[in-house]
Homo-oligomer: A and B are copies of this chain.
């Protein structure tokens, strides 16, 4: 194999596929990037058997062939080459020579045919959303997946298509995050659970442009994201996702409108007094036109008042401050509305159209604080 391409194209391609290179594996071939120049197109692929990424790069194929090269070494080398044309050539013994200007590297490769190709997916159905929207929706929900492997479904996100709306949801037992996206073209209802890791990696690759689209197709076992010259294939998580609709409610006894930034900054200050691992709640005392936030720990105490507008009853309620911070950080609205029932019932932060819903369970606290 011999190919010639631009350093910048090569770096871009290597950065994209590197997201699917496993950190640790018992199969050394998976630690490689496959350079496939057996057709008229140069393709780079990495695959950890759960998540696979393939991307095309511009360049000239002088001799067809393919080679698998250690991803870490290869990406470090290409990143540090001068900004110029790079030639990659392999010999019969899989020795790979990378030349750029006067710099010449020799490293050994592995046979390309030992590499685990991406599965070939027969697409059942597909939807299209912009790169911007997909990147945003991941950011706005990914924080409330669980990192425990004890319940595999909690490590993924529900992608549910219903009445031409894509609903993305995650939950960890203490809170639920939901975002809704209207789809432009009619599509059949569908439900699947996408691994959180896949979504984290894909959101690093997405350019986030509003004009550029991602085609998302799916089968029983796989989801495929196609955008720019890149294909991302991921296994789905098997099983029936939690019945989140049963956990949602529209009833409330207390409704609070509050400036988001003030609320967020205040909770942020309060968390200073909590050491990592310490489960001190922030206590919110909702009164007419004013809400007092209080926290007390071994380090000291803090309290602060914020102006609000309130409908309904007064309420004293405690929360894990981190959960409030996580939700408030990803809401772009200047003002947010909190719907509460009592000190034992979940709090909902949502907008009027329910384009977002954040459910947060309260925590018990000592009222004498």
A266 to B269 CA separation, bound complex (whole angstroms): 48
Do A105 and B73 contact each other (CB < 8 Å), given the known contacts A82-B265, A265-B82, A269-B81? Answer: no
Residues of B near A305 (CB, < 8 A) are 102
Q: What 10 pairs between A and B have smallest CB-CB spacing?
A: A107-B300, A103-B304, A80-B269, A106-B301, A102-B305, A76-B272, A105-B302, A102-B304, A106-B300, A104-B303
A106 to B302, Cβ gap below 8 A? yes
Q: How many copies does the complex hold?
A: 2
Q: Is the CB of B304 within 8 A of A73?
A: no
14 example contacts (A-B, Cβ-Cβ < 8 A) are as follows A73-B299, A76-B272, A77-B269, A77-B272, A80-B268, A80-B272, A81-B269, A82-B265, A102-B306, A103-B304, A105-B269, A106-B302, A107-B299, A107-B300
Q: Mark A246-281, 1 if CB is under 8 A from B, else 0.
A: 000000000000000000011011001100000000
State whether B106 touches A73 (Cβ < 8 A): no
CB distance from A122 to the nearest CB of B (A): 41
A306 to B104, CA, bound (A): 12
Q: Is there an interface contact between B266 and A105, defined as CB atoms closer than 8 Å? A: no
**Does A108 sit at the interface, judged by CB under 8 A?**
yes
Interface residues of A (CB under 8 A from B): 73, 76-77, 80-82, 102-108, 265-266, 268-269, 272-273, 299-306
Chain B residue, CB-CB nearest to A82: B265
**CB closest chain-B residue, reference A304:** B103
Chain B contacts of A81 at CB under 8 A? 269
Residues of chain B within 8 A (CB-CB) of A80 are: 265, 268-269, 272
Contact present for A108 and B300 (CB under 8 Å): yes
Closest B residue to A101 using CB positions: B304
Asked if A272 and B103 sit within 8 Å, CB to CB, the answer is no
Smallest CB–CB gap between A9 and chain B, Å? 19
**CB pair B272 A73 closer than 8 Å:** yes
Q: Tell me, rounded to whole Å, the shortest Cβ–Cβ distance linking A103 to chain B.
A: 4
A301 in contact with B269 (CB, 8 Å): no
- A275→B266 CA distance, assembly (Å): 47
CA A273 to CA B300, docked complex, whole Å = 52
A103 touches B73 (CB 8 A): no
Complex Cα distance A268/B81, Å? Answer: 10
Q: List B contacts of A301 (CB < 8 A).
A: 105-106
Q: How far is the CB of A358 from chain B (nearest CB, A)?
A: 23
Chain B residue at smallest Cβ distance from A73: B299
Of A82, A103, A107, most buried by chain B (CB within 10 Å of CB) is A103
Chain B hits for A82, CB < 8 A: 265
Residues of B within 8 A of A108 (CB): 300
Complex Cα distance, B274 from A76, in Å, reads 12
Would you give the shortest CB distance from A155 to chain B, in whole angstroms? 32
**CB pair B104 A302 closer than 8 Å:** yes
> Which of A77, A266, A299, A305 is the most central at the interface, judged by chain B CB atoms within 10 Å of its CB?
A299
- Write the nearest CB–CB distance from A72 to chain B, whole angstroms: 10
**Residues of the B chain whose Cβ atoms lie less than 8 Å from the Cβ of A102:** 304-306
Residue pair B103, A266 in contact (C-beta under 8 Å): yes
